[in-house]
Amino acid sequence: MVVHLPFTDVAEARKARDLTSQASQHRLDPCNSNPEGNHVNLKRFGVPAVIAVTAALALSSCASNEGGATPEESPSSLSGNLVGAGASSQDAAQKAWTAGFQTANPDVTINYDPTGSGAGRETFLQGASDFAGSDRAFDDEEIAAGGFAKCAPDSSIVELPLYVSPIAVIFNLEGVDTLDLDPATLAGIFAGTITKWNDPAIAALNEGVELPDQAITPVHRSDDSGTTENFTDYLFAAAPEVWTWEADGVWPFEGGEAAQGTSGVVDAVTNGTGTIGYADASRAGDLGTVAVQVGDEFVPYSPEAAAAIVDASPFVEGRAEGDLAIELDRSPSEGGVYPIVLVSYLVACQEYAEPENVELVKAYLSYIASPEGQDVAAADAGSAPISDTLREKVVAAIDSIQ
């Protein structure tokens, strides 16, 4: 576990030292690549300018990415600049991974731009990023079309399900902390066919729970999101007779309450009465949560149960070795599996056209897949660490990158 030093102080002190001593120690740092320029500032504008420059550098994102390590003690020979783009769901986890990786490898700069899954795939396809983050794997047609600009011709791509996040179904109902629901009832609530909390369908599944005669207000995301895509995918797969819309990042019909972003949904559910919504499990807080029916039992969300679905699901057939795209089994037969999860992939080339960043990509992905990397993401982003079974396959896939 990496202990984060209060890095602003360290960075500030270091910047100040660099500026004043004019050591012109040239490091691979896009934030401070021109010490001579600073010299001019120092002379002309004096101390206030130095303070301002120091503060600006220390507060800038580049400085905060570097963590607390000092360059002199560099234990690693890795250096360079890695660019990634894609899913905003991975943003918090990517920040944690970037910080952790750059602390261990101070000469490396990693930039992850959370532009959204679609844009991330597009960027990767056009070769403007070294790796992509995406809430869904490339589909067969996209892979058949090929044209991944960063990859060697005829190279396949490596897709690694390294960010697994449980989606909790949250509700606000006075006196009720947890509810048992089967997929059909859950789909009925969100589709608007079940409109009262004391509906017989809900009551039958929750004997002994006092359900009020109150209207249900289902809350969904008003923005395009991977959370919605995975939630609707679950409803469509597990209760197709009630939920007739295919998986989509945009809520598929007019109806129900809409709120902006995860925090918007959580706020709406918290402030409303008789509300129910879905959000990253890490944000569920004190709200009541739903245990969904899997097989014969009701499973509340937990990191272990969420990670278990990835192991219980088969890989997509007909993919290249190293392409670990998963065909999520939303209604598994095994117990202890929580089926409403968001699985987000990291996508890289199996063989890069230019060899310069290969080592770096491999090292970064290995760090993300390591127990340490998964724990950092769990702590910072509330994701579910992947199992050792999956890790073996992921590590093998990373090793195949060249």
Partner 1 sequence: MSTASTVIKAKQRPGDRVFSGSAVFAGSMILVTLAAVAIFLIVQSLPALFATSEDASILPTNFWAYVGPLIFGTVWASALALLMALPVSIGIALFISHYAPRRLASVLGYIVDLLAAVPSVVFGLWGIGVLAPAVQPLYSWLVDNLGWFPLFAGPVSGTGRTILTAAIVLAVMVLPIMTAINREVFLQTPVLHEEAALALGATRWEMIRTAVLPFGRSGIISASVLGLGRALGETMAVAMVLSASGALTFELLTSVNPSTIAANIALSFPEAYGPNVNVLIATGLILFIVTFAVNAFARWIVSRRKEFSGAN
Chain positions contacting partner 1, by CB under 8 A: 88, 115-119, 122, 195, 215-217, 219, 222-225, 249-251, 254-260, 264, 267-268, 271-275
What is Dmax (Cα atoms) for the chain?
Answer: 79
Q: How far is the CB of 309 from partner 1 (least distance, A)?
A: 24
On whether the CB atoms of residues 134 and 101 are closer than 8 A, the answer is: no
Q: CB of residue 222 vs partner 1: minimum separation in angstroms?
A: 5
Residue number with CB closer to partner 1 (101 or 231): 231
Please state the φ and ψ torsions of residue 161, each to the nearest 5 degrees: -80, 80
Q: Which is nearer to partner 1, 7 or 124 (CB)?
A: 124
Closer to partner 1 by CB, 115 or 331: give it. 115
Of 165 and 217, CB closest to partner 1: 217
Whole-number Å distance between alpha carbons of 397 and 249 = 29
For β-strands 297-299 and 341-349, DSSP reports them as: unpaired
| Residue 276 Cβ vs partner 1, minimum distance, rounded to whole Å | 9
In 89-156, at which residue ranges do the beta strands (DSSP E only) sit? 108-113, 131-134
Torsion of CA 123, 127, 128, 129, to 10 degrees: 80
3-state helix, strand, coil in the chain (%, to 5): 40, 20, 40
Residue 349 backbone dihedrals phi, psi, to 5 degrees: -80, 150
Question: 135 and 230 in contact (C-beta within 8 Å)?
Answer: yes
H or E element that contains 400: none
Please report how close the Cβ of residue 52 comes to partner 1 at its closest, in angstroms: 25
Sign of CA dihedral 252, 218, 161, 366: positive
**Angle 328-347-367 from CA coordinates, rounded to 5°:** 100
β-sheet bridge partners, residue 259: 221
Q: Find the shortest distance in angstroms from Cβ 195 to partner 1.
A: 8
Among residues 37 and 147, whose Cβ is nearest to partner 1? 147
Beta bridge partners of 109: 81
Structure tokens at 355: 């060899």
Minimum CB–partner distance for residue 198 and partner 1 (Å): 15
User: Could you tell me the smallest distance in angstroms from the CB atom of residue 343 to partner 1?
Assistant: 17
Question: In the complex with partner 1, which residue's Cβ is closer, 88 or 102?
Answer: 88
Angle at the Cα of 128 (from 127 to 133), degrees rounded to 5?
90
| Between 149 and 250, CB nearer to partner 1 | 250
Shortest CB 115 distance to partner 1, Å: 8
By three-state DSSP, how is residue 395 classified?
helix
| Complex with partner 1: residue 247 or 394, whichever CB lies closer | 247
DSSP code at position 281: G
Minimum CB–partner distance for residue 240 and partner 1 (Å): 22
Torsion of CA 179, 380, 332, 191, to 10 degrees: 50
Complex with partner 1: residue 228 or 374, whichever CB lies closer = 228
